């Protein structure tokens, strides 16, 4: 008879926590400090109950097994914090409107492609916000080659992003006219319209693995993601982001994130958490 894991049996020892933290840093660059031990235990307990496991060590053994790659990915997913909202850190979208969209308009008129990458897009609010601004501010035609790519390490959260369905509370930061025009209300939820969804593609991606997309991107949003990485993994990303940007492309970071040291990064600062690829 399969035993069901209870609260006591799922107690996370310091040694077990270190094993989990080691997997998180090696597989995804996620830095999990000891202060997060209770949170990790809570998330592991839910997963163990779903699997019918009693012992934390048995679960970690399963994750570490070369035969269970899927569960290893599941662990990274449950350790990931998925927080997002529409128009979060609005000064970035103001920068798009005032400094970047004119360039996009010129490229589209010249029949050139425009690509924007939302890295760590969570449940999709960020890429859909970018798409809303594109619709509102650019003259689009059937020939316009413009696309927003949203990527995240968590396949479950990406499924929600693809559906584009949000509650009234989640859409409260959207201007009511824009919400009425670009979302379809069904009961208590709001569904992103086809025009909005057609501008966005979602893909699963671990930022610390191979990036299959060719680029280049005219802008990259990677906001409130790097705060979960250690310094070494953060620094490893700067040249990779730079290599994926167009010569005058922009990189947008979260409010508490900075490129350091800036002078050696190949970027120049263009405002609060806004960076441009240096020539």
pLDDT in tens, 73-84: 889 888 887 779
SS3 content of the chain, % helix, strand, coil (to 5): 45, 20, 35
- The CATH 1.10.155.10 portion of the chain extends over 14-79
DSSP for 159-200?
HHHHHTEEETTTTTTS-HHHHHHHEEEETTEEEE-HHHHTTE
At 1, the pLDDT band (50, 70, 90 cuts) reads very low
CB neighbour class for 145 (10 Å; exposed up to 12, middle 13-18, buried from 19): exposed
Considering the domain delimited by 91-277, tell me its CATH architecture: 3-Layer(aba) Sandwich (3.40)
At 7, the pLDDT band (50, 70, 90 cuts) reads very low
Stretch among 1-10, 116-125, 210-219, 263-272 having the lowest mean pLDDT:
1-10
Give the residue numbers marked as catalytic.
43, 152
- The CATH 3.40.50.150 portion of the chain extends over 91-277
pLDDT (0 to 100) of residue 83: 78
Percent of the residues in the chain that have a pLDDT greater than 70, as a whole number: 96
Kind and range of the H or E element at 119?
strand 114-119
| C-alpha closest to that of 19 among 82, 72, 74, 70 | 72
Cα–Cα distance measured from residue 157 to residue 137, given in angstroms and rounded to the nearest whole number: 28
CB neighbour class for 199 (10 Å; exposed up to 12, middle 13-18, buried from 19): buried
Kind and range of the H or E element at 94?
helix 91-95
pLDDT (0 to 100) of residue 6: 42
pLDDT (0 to 100) of residue 8: 41
The token pair that represents 40 in the structure block: 């990790």
Cα–Cα distance measured from residue 16 to residue 262, given in angstroms and rounded to the nearest whole number: 37
| C-alpha closest to that of 152 among 73, 246, 92 | 73
| C-alpha closest to that of 130 among 155, 100, 110, 108 | 100
Q: Which tens digits make up the pLDDT trace of 80-97?
A: 877 799 999 999 999 999
Question: Maximum CA pair distance of the chain?
Answer: 68
The token pair that represents 214 in the structure block: 């060719």
Please determine, for residue 9, whether its predicted confidence score (pLDDT) is greater than 60.
Answer: no
Q: Which tens digits make up the pLDDT trace of 222-258?
A: 999 998 898 899 999 999 999 999 999 999 999 999 9
Q: Which tens digits make up the pLDDT trace of 197-209?
A: 999 999 999 999 9
pLDDT (0 to 100) of residue 10: 60
The CATH number for 14-79, chosen from 3.40.50.1360, 1.10.155.10, 3.40.47.10, 3.10.450.50, is: 1.10.155.10
CB neighbour class for 170 (10 Å; exposed up to 12, middle 13-18, buried from 19): middle
Stretch among 43-57, 111-125, 157-171, 236-250 having the lowest mean pLDDT:
43-57
Strand 183-186's sheet: what is its strand order? 165-167, 189-192, 183-186
The token pair that represents 52 in the structure block: 């019918």
Cα–Cα distance measured from residue 161 to residue 270, given in angstroms and rounded to the nearest whole number: 30
Q: Which tens digits make up the pLDDT trace of 122-134?
A: 999 999 999 999 9
| C-alpha closest to that of 148 among 160, 167, 168, 162 | 162
CB neighbour class for 160 (10 Å; exposed up to 12, middle 13-18, buried from 19): middle
3-state secondary structure of 77: helix
Contact 167, 181 (CB under 8 A): no
């Amino acid at each position: 008879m399969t035993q069901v894991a209870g609260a006591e049996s799922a107690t996370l020892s310091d040694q077990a926590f270190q094993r989990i933290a080691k997997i998180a840093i090696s597989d995804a660059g996620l830095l999990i400090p000891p202060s997060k031990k209770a949170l990790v235990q809570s998330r592991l307990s839910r997963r163990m109950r779903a699997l019918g496991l009693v012992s934390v060590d048995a679960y970690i053994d399963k994750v570490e097994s070369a035969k269970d790659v899927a569960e290893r990915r599941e662990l990274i997913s449950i350790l990931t914090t998925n927080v997002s909202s529409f128009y979060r850190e609005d000064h970035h979208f103001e920068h798009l409107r005032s400094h970047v969209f004119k360039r996009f308009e010129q490229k589209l008129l010249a029949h050139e492609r425009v690509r924007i990458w939302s890295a760590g897009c969570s449940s999709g609010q960020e890429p859909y916000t970018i798409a809303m601004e594109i619709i509102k501010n650019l003259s689009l035609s059937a020939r316009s080659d413009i696309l927003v790519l949203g990527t995240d390490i968590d396949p479950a959260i990406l499924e929600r992003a693809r559906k584009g369905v949000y509650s009234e509370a989640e859409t409260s930061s959207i201007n009511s006219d824009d919400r009425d025009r670009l979302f379809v209300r069904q009961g208590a939820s709001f569904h992103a319209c086809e025009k909005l969804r057609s501008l966005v593609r979602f893909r699963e991606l671990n930022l610390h693995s191979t990036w299959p997309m060719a680029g280049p991107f005219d802008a990259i949003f990677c906001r409130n993601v790097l705060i979960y990485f250690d310094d070494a993994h953060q620094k490893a990303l700067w040249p990779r982001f730079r290599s994926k940007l167009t010569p005058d492309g922009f990189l947008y970071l979260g409010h508490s994130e900075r490129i350091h040291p800036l002078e050696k990064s190949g970027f120049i600062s263009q405002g609060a958490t806004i960076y441009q690829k240096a020539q």
